[in-house]
Each structure stands twice: as C-alpha cells, then as structure tokens.
C-alpha cells in the first residue's frame, strides 16, 4: 500500500494546506485505519472517550509547552479558520466604544479590519498598501487610550513578516496563522492569538486560539453560545464535537516540533532555509524578490522572474524536480516558496538547483 514512495520524493512548497513531516503522515494514516491497534479508526471513536480526551489534553499541553503559555491564558481548538476569528475575536473582546488599532499589511489584515470594524471604533494605524504590501510599516504611533492592537505577524501572500512586535503595553491581538510555532513568543504581550492550523500547526479543519481569560466577558454584547470563547473554555474545546482527526494530526505535528528541539530549533531551521533561498534569489540574475530585505518572511518567500517569458520553462523544470506548490498567489503572480517548519533544507536545495540551472 505504501510502496515506491522514495522514487517520487516531492518537495512541497504549498502555502497552505501545507507540508506535514513524513512521520506525522505515517502515524495519521495508521490512525485513520486502525488507531493504536484497537480495530477502529480514530475517526469513528467518541470524542468523549478516553482516547480522544487524552489526545485533546496532550495537544493543549504541547501548545503550552512549546510556546511557554501560562495559566492566565486559555488554549482552544475551534473551527472556521482565521476568517471566523476576524469577527469572533472582535465580538468577544471589543466594546462598541473601544478604540482599537489595526495595522494593514495585506489581504488578511484587510479582511480582519472589515469584520472587526462592526464591533469597535477601529483605526487603521498604518498600511503598506502604498507599495503593494512589499514591506511592513514600523513608524506609527500608538494613540492614547488604545484598547487593543491587531497585527498579522506573517503575510503569506506578499511574503512579509513582522520581525519584532511593536513596543507597547497595549495588548496585542495577533493573527499568526502562517508563522505560529516558527519562533518563541512573549505571551504576556498578547491579549489573543489565533491561527488556522493548515500552515504551521496541522491540517485544515482546526483553528488554534490562545486568549487571556481575564479579558473576556466584558462587552455586555449578546453572543451566540458557540461564538463565546467562554463556552469553549468551560467545556475544554468539547462543547460540541470537535474536529477529531485534524486535532490528532495537530498533536502529531507538535510532537514532531518538540522532538526536533522545539520552537527555538525551528528558528534556526527556518533561518537556514530562508537564507539559502533569498541568497539565491538575490544572486541569480533571472530572479528578483519584491520584498524589502529586512521584512522578508522566513515562512513564505515571494519572487519573480526578471524575464516573465521564462515562466513555463521554470515551472516545467520545477515539476521535473518534484517541486510542488511554487506558483505565486493570484493577486501578486510570480512565485512563492513556502518553507514552513516541516520543509527540509534538502527541498530548498532542490529548488535553488533548478533556479541556478535556468
């Protein structure tokens, strides 16, 4: 059933759903058919049974351990992706009269702003729209009385990343969908962190939310039961049936990160990969990176051909080398190499080899 895989080794640069480590896929496949030799698929086992309850607890523990999250914060596994968190975070945290600042660094920030502005006095503090989001705005001031500051820490489409968080005492709400678990965080700087799993956390179908508990329950706004974080905190992410299999694969992925040395080891691993690729782009006359050097993402590198006519040739060479998911997002065109935690350095080497041979 699993034969001949080595013969067709693929280099998966997909932006999301994204690469999973080999060992994670193997364990996931086993559990999909016969979980721990119990004669049942994990997908057909009760979410209230001790097997899945253990998985859920273990997944939460791993999140806490890897990101050093203290008990002031709840760790939740929800659904609906970051797109749901755009309004759910706002509904739960903001009063209509609250002044809330958003930094606009691209498509996802823009969507977050659109949803959140219905729940607060929203101010866009800075934007890099003037240069097609090819940099991260840094020179903006935090207005007096600001209640929250919302940031998108990595911009998958444009290939930019916030290398450090602004110095402020205002609690940060961060969309970390595409770079969570790629570096340590100072949890006390945050009010809420959210991330769709399908990039650096696990497969599509589960959304990670980390929220400071004392910030909740203050809006006096009517919130449907399922949209209230407090519901899910009280029920340990099992108010209703959680997405069992995506949570399990998330656990496997976090175990893999831990086995590799944790988030600090991921920093080095991702830096090595990113440096190799950006060096190639900068040295290679056929390619150019549109992103300001200091803001270049270690997760998603965007680049273009200096001669667009070579696109077909380059894509054909990539395909031949087993390189997948290299086309840029339709909004920006060109190419994008996503180098999430699971990607091996050898895959970046395979890509730079193709780039050099053009």
Beta bridge partners of 327: 335
- Binding segment for its own copies (CB under 8 A), chosen from 32-40, 142-150, 281-289, 309-317, is 32-40
* Binding residue for its own copies, selected from 58, 64, 87, 310, defined by CB under 8 A: 87
* Binding residue for its own copies, selected from 15, 55, 266, 301, defined by CB under 8 A: 15
- CB within 8 A of 326, min separation 6: which ones? 13, 315, 318, 335, 336, 337, 351
* Binding residue for its own copies, selected from 214, 240, 307, 346, defined by CB under 8 A: 240
| List 51, 98, 179, 199, catalytic entry | 199
Q: Which of 207, 164, 206, 212 is nearest to 187 (CA)?
A: 212
Residue number with CB closer to its own copies (36 or 131): 36
Q: Please check whether residue 66 is in contact with residue 81, taking contact to mean a CB–CB distance below 8 angstroms.
A: no
Q: Minimum Å distance from CB 239 to its own copies?
A: 7
Binding mask 114-153 for its own copies (x = CB under 8 A): xx--x-----------------------------------
| List 104, 175, 228, 295, catalytic entry | 175
Question: Which residues in the 273-292 window bind its own copies by CB under 8 A?
Answer: none
Give the tokens for residue 67: 């990101």
| List 51, 98, 104, 108, catalytic entry | 108
The helix (run of H) or strand (run of E) holding residue 314 is: helix 311-320
d(CA 119, CA 91): 6
256 is catalytic: no
Residue 17: count of CB within 10 angstroms of its CB: 16
39 burial type by CB count under 10 A (0-12 exposed, 13-18 middle, 19+ buried): exposed
321 binds its own copies (CB under 8 A): no
222 binds its own copies (CB under 8 A): yes
The helix (run of H) or strand (run of E) holding residue 337 is: strand 335-338
238 binds its own copies (CB under 8 A): no
344 binds its own copies (CB under 8 A): no
264 is catalytic: no
Q: At what angle do helices 244-259 and 50-67 cross, to 10 degrees?
A: 40
Q: Considering CB under 8 A, how many residues would be counted as binding its own copies?
A: 68
Residue number with CB closer to its own copies (19 or 301): 19
What sign for the dihedral angle of Cα 19, 22, 23, 25? positive
Give the tokens for residue 137: 């705005």
Q: Please check whether residue 115 is in contact with residue 122, taking contact to mean a CB–CB distance below 8 angstroms.
A: no
Write out the residues near its own copies by the rule CB under 8 A.
Answer: 1-2, 4-5, 8-10, 12, 14-20, 25-26, 28-30, 32-34, 37-41, 43-47, 79-84, 86-87, 111, 114-115, 118, 196, 198, 203-206, 222, 224-227, 239-246, 249, 322, 324-325
């Amino acid at each position: 059933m699993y034969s001949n895989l080595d013969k067709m080794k693929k280099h998966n640069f997909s932006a999301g759903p994204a690469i999973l480590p080999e060992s994670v896929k193997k364990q996931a496949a086993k559990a999909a058919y016969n979980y721990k030799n119990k004669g049942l698929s994990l997908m057909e086992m009760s979410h209230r049974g001790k097997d899945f309850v253990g998985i859920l607890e273990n997944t939460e523990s791993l999140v806490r351990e890897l990101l050093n999250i203290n008990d002031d914060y709840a760790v939740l596994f929800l659904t609906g992706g970051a797109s749901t968190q755009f309004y759910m975070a706002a509904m739960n945290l903001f009063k209509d009269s609250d002044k809330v600042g958003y930094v606009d660094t691209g498509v996802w920030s823009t969507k977050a702003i659109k949803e959140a502005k219905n729940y607060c006095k929203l101010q866009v503090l800075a934007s890099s729209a003037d240069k097609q989001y090819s940099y991260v705005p840094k020179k903006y001031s935090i207005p007096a009385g600001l209640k929250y500051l919302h940031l998108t820490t990595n911009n998958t489409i444009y290939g930019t990343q916030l290398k450090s968080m602004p110095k402020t005492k205002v609690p940060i709400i961060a969309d970390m969908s595409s770079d969570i678990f790629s570096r340590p965080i100072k949890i006390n700087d945050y009010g809420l962190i959210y991330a769709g799993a399908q990039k650096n956390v696990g497969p599509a179908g589960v959304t990670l939310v980390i929220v400071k508990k004392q910030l909740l329950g203050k809006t006096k706004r009517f919130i449907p039961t399922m949209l209230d974080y407090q519901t899910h905190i009280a029920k340990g992410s099992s108010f209703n049936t959680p997405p069992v299999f995506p949570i399990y694969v998330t656990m496997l992925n976090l175990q893999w990160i831990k086995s590799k040395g944790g988030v600090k080891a991921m920093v080095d691993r991702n830096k090595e990969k990113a440096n190799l690729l950006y060096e190639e782009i900068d040295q290679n006359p056929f390619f150019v990176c549109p992103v300001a050097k200091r803001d270049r993402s270690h997760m998603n590198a965007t680049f273009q051909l200096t001669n667009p006519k070579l696109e077909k040739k380059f894509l054909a060479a990539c395909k031949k080398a087993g390189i997948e998911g290299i086309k840029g997002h339709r909004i920006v065109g060109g190419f994008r190499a996503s180098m999430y935690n699971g990607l091996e350095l050898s895959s970046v080497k395979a890509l730079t080899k193709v780039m050099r041979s053009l």
